[in-house]
Amino acid sequence: MPSLLENPEPVAVKLLNTVADGYVALHTWPDGHAKHLIRWPLWEWIRYRLEQDGLDAEEIYTRMPTWQHGYRFIRAQRGTLYPDARESVALTVAGMHYAQHPAMELLIKAFLTGLKLAAQQQKSTPPQPAEVFTIRLSLTEFATTVNNVSGTFVEPEELATILQGEPATWSGVNQDGGGWYWDINRVRLRPYRELFKCEEYLIQLEKLIGVSENPLGAEPLLAMALPDALDHLDLAWRLVTNGPLLRVQRVAVAAKLSHPAISADEFESRCSALSDILNGFNLPSNGGTLNNMKAKLTDLLGAHAGRAHDAVDTLRDVIAIRAGQQHSAVLRAERARSRFGLNALGGDWAAQWEQIRGITIQALNIIREEISVLIT
């Protein structure tokens, strides 16, 4: 399952933009007042628009990922392969983000502002030890506050639609004779108090709905499995290129790869040691060692280098996790953590390190297998 933080394919972005165009067509812009009771376009219209460009909307839709709780870039009726022709379909916040459409940016701004305001109100309203206290926000009043703070024009019904489409906020959003309301006692808003960018929201949402398969299987790894995989790749590299790949300056660095990690400090130490070895490959560092490794693999394998390139990208993700611990590359590190399934492991540092070891071994073995066909 891809990460929420990965860019969708270009035709998927085209579909998201078409939905956004339909939203704008149903509104008088920029004051935001709707022309119609339907606020998002019908699937029939979206399908027609894409067909004018030779694209199949249903085919694109079915290729788009679905995360836990049925979350997708496009919000539609569940239980069907694709939306009904007469169904009004809306973008989720993730879909709005990747549409990169000015109108969607305003909706995202309103949503993030509302999320922060609700989280702050939840924090500042202490509960009673023996009394259930409900914090019920009228979305008519709340939308006005959101618009005043963020400079947007979102209507209560639009805000309700967005909130109902997000796993982080959909509990407690209902309608009665007095209009839409949101019972914020029913949602956990603490992770969203300090949001400034949509990417930060997606990082938190990823922890809630993101799922990655464990590639390791049931077999435990031997202590020397990772050093052995590096040695085997180094041998194949020598035979193919007449030069070494590994350039390890200190034995202690390599030795760390055979040890478990039972604490956050040990996990960081193991990741740092592995990253130092990968960054230290015997390739030019100008432009990035692993970028130059991909270039070398292209020279060696030509048009057949794709699988090896993907494996190198996996090694780059390993380095990204270490960089995210120590520097400011948080978004890239979160993408890597999601791809590797680390978020689901919580604070189990031993399991996280085993996951990284297993994935790294797989990547090293793939590169070795691909270049071994050149050994004569």
Q: Which pLDDT tens digit goes with each residue over 24-67?
A: 988 754 555 555 455 899 999 999 999 999 999 999 998 888 88
Rounded to the nearest integer, the mean pLDDT of the chain is 87
- Specify if 362 maps to a domain: yes
Question: Quick one: 153 and 277 in the same domain?
Answer: no
pLDDT value of position 337 = 83
Residue-wise pLDDT for 137-164, tens only, equals: 999 999 999 999 999 989 999 999 999 9
77 and 118 assigned to the same domain: no
Whether the per-residue pLDDT at 14 is higher than 60: the answer is yes
204 belongs to a structural domain: no
* pLDDT above 50: residue 237: yes
What distance in Å separates the CA atoms of residue 355 and residue 353, rounded to the nearest whole number? 5
Domain count within the chain: 3
Flag whether 69 is in a domain: yes
User: Which pLDDT score is estimated for 128?
Assistant: 78
Task: For 183, list phi and psi in degrees, rounded to 5.
Answer: -90, 95
Same-domain status, 361 and 233: yes
The beta-carbon contacts of 28-36 under 8 Å, at least 24 apart in sequence, are 29/103, 30/153, 31/153, 32/106, 32/152, 32/153, 32/154, 32/155, 33/153, 33/155, 34/155
Q: Please tell me whether residues 289 and 358 are part of one structural domain.
A: yes
| Same domain as 273, residue 135 | no
CA 93, CA 104: separation in Å to the nearest integer? 9
In-domain check, residue 89: yes
Q: Based on the domain organization, do 255 and 117 belong to the same domain?
A: no
Query: Residue 70 — left, alpha, or beta (φ > 0 → left; ψ -120 to 50 → alpha)?
Result: left
Q: How does pLDDT run across 298-324, given as a tens digit for each residue?
A: 999 998 888 899 899 999 999 998 865
Q: Which of 130-144, 305-319, 325-339, 359-373 has the lowest mean pLDDT?
A: 325-339
Tell me the average pLDDT across 218-239. Answer: 88
Domain assignment present for 214: no
Considering 99, 133, 162, which residue would you say is the last residue of a domain? 99
Residue 212 pLDDT exceeds 60: no
Give the bridge partners for 128, in sequence order: 131
7 versus 36: the higher-pLDDT residue is 7
Domain membership of residue 29 as a residue range? 10-99
Residue 144 placed within a domain? yes
Specify whether the CB–CB gap between 233 and 367 falls below 8 A: yes
How open is the CA angle 82-87-89, to the nearest 5 degrees?
Answer: 75
Residues 265 and 366 in one domain: yes
Domain end marker among 150, 181, 198 = 198
- 75 and 114 assigned to the same domain: no
Distances, alpha carbon 169 to alpha carbons 63, 72, 177, 264, 370, in Å: 26, 15, 22, 31, 46
Residues 26 and 64 in one domain: yes
Q: Among 26-35, 76-85, 341-350, which stretch is predicted with the lowest mean pLDDT? A: 26-35
Overall average pLDDT of the 234-258 stretch: 85
- Please tell me the predicted confidence (pLDDT) of residue 214: 44
Could you give the percent of the chain with pLDDT greater than 90? 54
Residue 329: pLDDT band (50, 70, 90) is low
Asked if residue 208 belongs to a domain, the reply is no
Last residue of a domain, one of 99, 119, 140: 99
Residues 84 and 116 in one domain: no
pLDDT of residue 338: 77
Are residues 302 and 320 located together in one domain of the fold?
yes
Question: Is position 78 within any domain?
Answer: yes
pTM of this structure: 0.63
Residue 326: pLDDT above 80? no
Question: Which percentage of the chain shows pLDDT scores above 70?
Answer: 90
Question: Letter for the amino acid at 363?
Answer: A
Asked whether residue 115 falls in the same domain as residue 243, the answer is: no
